[in-house]
Structure 1
């Protein structure tokens, strides 16, 4: 980072930090330098740096962990805004959106999946089944979302993957809210897995619709 004139203050610090994030110099998950290190690098007071960090935390690009430091959580504020909107969306709204995405993902995955895609889907499905047997709601939600993300990845359409991943937190919350799904046996996910593995697009779409119909009934 370049040295910032003291007169630039908070706005300049915000732009410098945002630039480090958006350029990829600080990828998501990276712990950023301490306030004192940033202040020295930018040539400004720690107070100005602290305020700049606070603004970016509020924007959703950074998060501060008490006693640990500050980490990058996103690189694009528009994606943060979308994620926050999704977090507030009603569960039914999420299912309505998923009907479009899941049907496309299932159809494309059945024709484009690779052995590596299938292996990842299979592991996620096994984790999901094990969590259901154990009644572990958090593990079940994580595995369920991972399975559907792997199906989307298997479509090998970058835009579809990005859209699906931007919804991942909202999807996880919606699954966690359907606690009965953990207790009831449901083989529709296994059917989706088998249809994708067999390359049967029509069957994969049908299985995907069945999954969402069941989730709608569980609401």
Structure 2
């Protein structure tokens, strides 16, 4: 509800002078970002139309328009002519990194993955919970099942979810956000090699299972080495 220039749930500004419009816009942006972060507005979904946003956030149409424009500018939202506005990235950081990764070649992406995922494996080994292990086991099982069924789109998606589960086991929000930001590129390199990976599938799954086992046993160095082994295999597959 919009009350005396303050968003409902926000504390009244006790400073002198009127509350500036920019403050309302910034608050609306934060609320929208929160809707995206919590997946109340999932990636790929259309956000509510302007009149509903006015009611939802309790600000004027102008404030809503400015907030939406700001998120479009940083790549979080995308306006589609005659079809509304859609969520195209989870955060401005995600949008910026995705844009940079789209310009990179597979070799550059694998080098970044090597630096990031080795440390992720170490931290996950140190901090993982039993729940984290169950999550990894579930996604690895689904990955293997998808490949065996010939559903390669599901294979790529589930493989990524397995690695995201490892990142989540670090319990470091920035690390998780960074890894999630390269999702498109991770899936792209997996997808690019999948047609040539038939003979390597058994080895790939063996490395995945060894990686999971090392994390479960909290063997940090061994887990990092399995990441290196996996990415080296992917590099050879892409080069073949």
| TMscore range, shorter length | 0.7 to 0.9
Instruction: After superposition, give the CA deviation of every residue in 1:114-173 in whole Å (9 maximum; x if it has no partner).
Output: 110000100110111112112222111111111111111112233322211111121111
Q: 1:135 maps to what in 2?
A: 150
> Once superposed, what is the RMSD of the aligned Cα atoms?
3.2
Structure 1 residues 38-80: Cα deviation after superposition (integer angstroms, max 9, x where no partner): 6896356xxxx88985674354221346876423344643431
Aligned mate of 1:42, from 22, 37, 60:
60
Q: Does 1:122 align with 2:137?
A: yes
Q: Distance between the aligned counterparts of 2:134 and 2:99, measured in 1?
A: 32
Looking at structure 1, the residues matched to 158 and 81 of structure 2 have their Cα atoms a distance apart, in angstroms, of 28
Cα distance in 2, alignment partners of residues 119 and 68 from structure 1: 40
CA distance in structure 2 between the partners assigned to 1:209 and 1:119 by the alignment = 23
User: Which residue of 2 is the match for residue 192 of structure 1?
Assistant: 211
Identify the residue that residue 230 of structure 2 maps to in structure 1: 211
- Maintained 8 Å contact 1:135/1:182: no
More divergent stretch after superposition (19-28 vs 165-174): 19-28
Checking the alignment, whether the CA contact within 8 Å between 1:20 and 1:26 is kept in structure 2 is: no
**Aligned ranges for residues 123-202 of structure 1 at < 5 Å?**
123-180=138-195, 182-184=197-199, 185=201, 186=204, 187-202=206-221
With the length of structure 2 as denominator, give the TM-score of the two structures. Answer: 0.71
Aligned match of 1:6 = none
User: Aligned partners of 1:39, 1:118: CA distance in 2, in Å?
Assistant: 43
Counterpart CA distance in 2 for 1:24 and 1:52 is: 8
2:124–2:170 CA contact under 8 A, matched in 1? yes
User: Matched residue of 1:109: which SS?
Assistant: helix
Pair 1:103 & 2:111 matched: no
Q: Indicate if the aligned counterparts of 1:21 and 1:75 stay in contact, CA closer than 8 A.
A: no
Cα distance, 1:156–1:86 mapped onto 2, change above 3 Å = same
Unaligned runs of at least 5 residues, structure 2: 7-20
Q: By how many angstroms is 1:23 displaced?
A: 3.5
Q: Does 1:27 align with 2:41?
A: no
Deviates further, 204-213 or 75-84: 75-84
What secondary structure is seen at the aligned counterpart in 1 of 2:85? strand
